[in-house]
Amino acid sequence: MSVNPATTAARVSTAEGREAGRFVGTVLRVRELGLIGVLAILVLATTLSNDRFVNSQNLRDISLNVAIVALLAVGQTVVVVSRNIDLSVGSVLGFVALITGSLFADKYLRGEAFDDAISKLVSSGQAAS
């Protein structure tokens, strides 16, 4: 039985590629675990210095504040992945927050006019972008 050198070389290069892929995967996992470890140390240190840091109200507030940024990050990810560069997300958020605040101050977002206010907010966000 004869051994084809081209086939043998292809098998060796495929095996080397798999090893390189495993190495990269391991490095990425270790880096993420390091970040989680640093975050855990920061939370533990802050909890030890302030008893009220890890309570239900604070966790709720953090979750509510993170939700806005997470929604913006998902939208910005879609823009960047589709190879369109748009850095106006912050200005659109600020503009819509200004409109929302003024509508709440005028008590326009309470009662029957809620649907009309939502449509105005959406259209102002689209017009700003």
Would the pLDDT of 100 be above 80? no
Contact 99/124 with Cβ under 8 angstroms? yes
Would 32 be classed as within a structural domain? yes
Q: What is the DSSP string of 2-19?
A: ---HHHHHHHHHHHHHHH
Q: How many domains does the chain have?
A: 1
- Note whether residue 101 is domain-resident: no
69-99 tens-digit pLDDT: 888 888 778 777 887 776 677 777 788 788 7
What does pTM read for this prediction?
0.43
Range of the domain at 29: 1-54
Q: What is the mean pLDDT of the chain?
A: 75
Is 86 a domain residue?
no
Alpha carbon distances (Å) from 66 to 12, 35, 40, 60, 124 = 48, 18, 18, 10, 23
Residue 114, in any domain of the structure:
no
pLDDT at 60 over 80: yes
In a domain, residue 3? The reply is yes
pLDDT in tens, 13-54: 566 667 777 877 776 667 677 788 888 999 899 999 988 888
Q: Identify the weakest region by mean pLDDT among 8-12, 15-19, 56-60, 88-92.
A: 8-12
Report if residue 95 sits inside a domain: no
Residue 19: inside a domain: yes
